[in-house]
């Protein structure tokens, strides 16, 4: 009898336990679903954030490349500014490389690079202001020089008239027909066509000078010769060098050029290319026409 009672109790308690287990399973399943949703939200937000950071890095890289192109297009006629520009261009290139190697998720580094970008932009604006100011000053100096040349030409004209009054016409023609030069200068250029004083970077030399205004000089084509000598006094020549005569004496020119001279002042440049090597020291240049020397100058290379 007792066994029947106990069996009945077991049977009556089993549904309650099964119901409890099912309830527990439902709760665990709900918790798991909530956790799965939470993980999905976190994963989605992280993916969105990483995508935004990558876009931000790409934008920063594009801005840096645009700034690099702006620096590449910026140039001046002043060696000191060109040296500063070269330094800033190198900073931009290095910064681009650092950005490319930095993970987009490294927000502190990206913010640092953004600040450096702003600084380099400010520096470039300063360069533009400096170059504009120097160009304005150069234009003023050029205008002043033109006015001074005009005044000097007028003074020479008056002086020549006075000389014609006290000397014979033949003496005036003989003395006044010689073309003279002034302002001779020798500069060295590197492969980027910028002036340099480093011997290891020189690829060519350029002599500049002016043929002075002279109304009595013979009009027409005039060949101007230059002799460039290295620090040891050796004449620099190449395949285009040629011989010329001065006062009946044969001489060898490093380079030459023909200009059209009509009695007014002529500014000209003569290049010397295809020299194998340049050494440190003082180079000298002297310019000539067939009538004589036009002047000389020196250049120091480091």
Q: Are residues 6 and 125 in the same domain?
A: yes
Q: Is residue 150 part of a domain?
A: no
Highest mean pLDDT (candidates 58-62, 86-90, 96-100, 278-282) = 278-282
Position 192 in a domain: yes
When mean pLDDT is compared across 67-81, 223-237, 288-302, the lowest value belongs to: 67-81
Same domain, 200 and 283: yes
Say if residue 211's pLDDT is above 90. yes
Q: If you average pLDDT over residues 75-93, what whole number do you get?
A: 79
| Predicted pLDDT of residue 50 | 61
119 and 196 fall within a common domain: no
* pLDDT at position 288 over 70: yes
The verdict on residue 170 lying in a domain is no
Average pLDDT, the chain: 82
Return the HEC string of the chain: CHHHHHHHHHHHHHHHHHHHHHHHHHHHHHHHHHHHHHHHHHHHHHHHHHHHHHHHHHHHHHHHHHHHHHHHHCCCCCHHHHHHHHHHHHHHHHHHHHHHHCCCCCHHHHHHHHHHHHHHHHHHHHHHHHHHHHHHHHHHHHHHHHHHHHHHHHHHHHHHHHHHHHCCHHHHHHHHCCCCEEEEEEEEECCCCCECCCHHHCCEEEEEEEECCCCCCCCEEEEEEEEEECCCCCECCCCCCEEEEECCEEEEECEEEEEEECCCCEEEEEEECCCCCCCCEEEEEEEEECCEEEEEEEEEEC
User: Is residue 227's pLDDT more than 80?
Assistant: yes
Q: Is residue 161 part of a domain?
A: no
Residue range(s) defining the domain that contains residue 190 = 179-301
Instruction: Give residue-wise pLDDT tens across range 160-178.
Output: 887 776 565 665 666 667 8
Last residue of a domain, one of 115, 131, 147: 131
* pLDDT of the residue at 10: 55
* Predicted structure pTM score: 0.44
Question: What pLDDT, on the 0 to 100 scale, is given for residue 294?
Answer: 94
* Within a domain: 141: no
Residues 7 and 111 in one domain: yes
At 47, the pLDDT band (50, 70, 90 cuts) reads low
Per the domain annotation, does 140 fall within a domain? Answer: no
Is residue 12 pLDDT above 60, yes or no? Answer: no
Flag whether pLDDT at 98 surpasses 70: yes
State the pLDDT at residue 151: 83
pLDDT, residue 80, reads 77
Q: 18 vs 256, which has greater pLDDT?
A: 256
Q: Are both 198 and 99 inside the same structural domain?
A: no
Claim to verify: residue 126 and residue 184 sit in the same structural domain:
no
- CATH code, domain with 291: 2.60.40.10
Tell me the pLDDT band of 256, cut-offs 50, 70 and 90: very high
In a domain, 206, yes or no: yes
In a domain, 23, yes or no: yes
Q: Within this chain, do residues 6 and 103 fall inside the same structural domain, yes or no?
A: yes
pLDDT (average), residues 41-45: 54
Q: Does 200 share its domain with 87?
A: no
Mean pLDDT to the nearest integer, 190-199: 95
Residues 111 and 209 in one domain: no
What pLDDT sits at residue 200?
A: 94
Q: Same domain for 48 and 110?
A: yes
Percent of the chain past pLDDT 70, that is, above it, reads 85
Q: Number of structural domains, the chain?
A: 2
């Amino acid at each position: 009898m007792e066994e029947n009672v106990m069996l009945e109790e077991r049977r009556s308690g089993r549904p309650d336990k099964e119901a409890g287990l099912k309830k527990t399973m439902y709760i665990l399943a709900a918790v798991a679903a909530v956790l799965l949703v939470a993980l999905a939200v976190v994963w989605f937000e992280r993916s969105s954030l990483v995508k935004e950071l990558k876009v931000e890095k790409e934008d920063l890289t594009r801005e840096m490349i645009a700034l690099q192109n702006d620096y590449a297009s910026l140039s001046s006629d002043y060696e000191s500014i060109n040296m500063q520009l070269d330094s800033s261009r190198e900073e931009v290139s290095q910064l681009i490389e650092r950005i490319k190697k930095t993970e987009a998720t490294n927000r502190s580094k990206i913010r640092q690079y953004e600040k450096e970008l702003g600084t380099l932009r400010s520096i470039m604006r300063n360069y533009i202001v400096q170059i504009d100011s120097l160009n304005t000053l150069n234009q003023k100096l050029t205008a002043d020089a033109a006015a001074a040349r005009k005044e000097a030409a007028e003074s020479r004209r008056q002086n020549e008239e006075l000389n014609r009054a006290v000397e014979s016409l033949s003496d005036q023609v003989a003395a006044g027909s010689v073309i003279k030069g002034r302002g001779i200068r020798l500069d060295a250029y590197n492969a980027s066509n910028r002036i340099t004083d480093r011997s290891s970077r020189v690829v060519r030399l350029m002599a500049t000078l002016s043929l002075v205004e002279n109304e009595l000089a013979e009009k027409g084509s005039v060949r101007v010769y230059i002799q460039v000598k290295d620090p040891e006094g050796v004449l620099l020549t190449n395949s285009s060098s040629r011989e010329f005569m001065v006062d009946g004496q044969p001489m060898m020119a490093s380079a030459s050029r023909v200009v059209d001279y009509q009695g007014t002042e002529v500014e000209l440049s003569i290049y010397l290319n295809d020299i194998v090597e340049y050494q440190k020291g003082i180079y000298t240049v002297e310019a000539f026409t067939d009538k004589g020397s036009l002047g000389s100058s020196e250049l120091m290379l480091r």
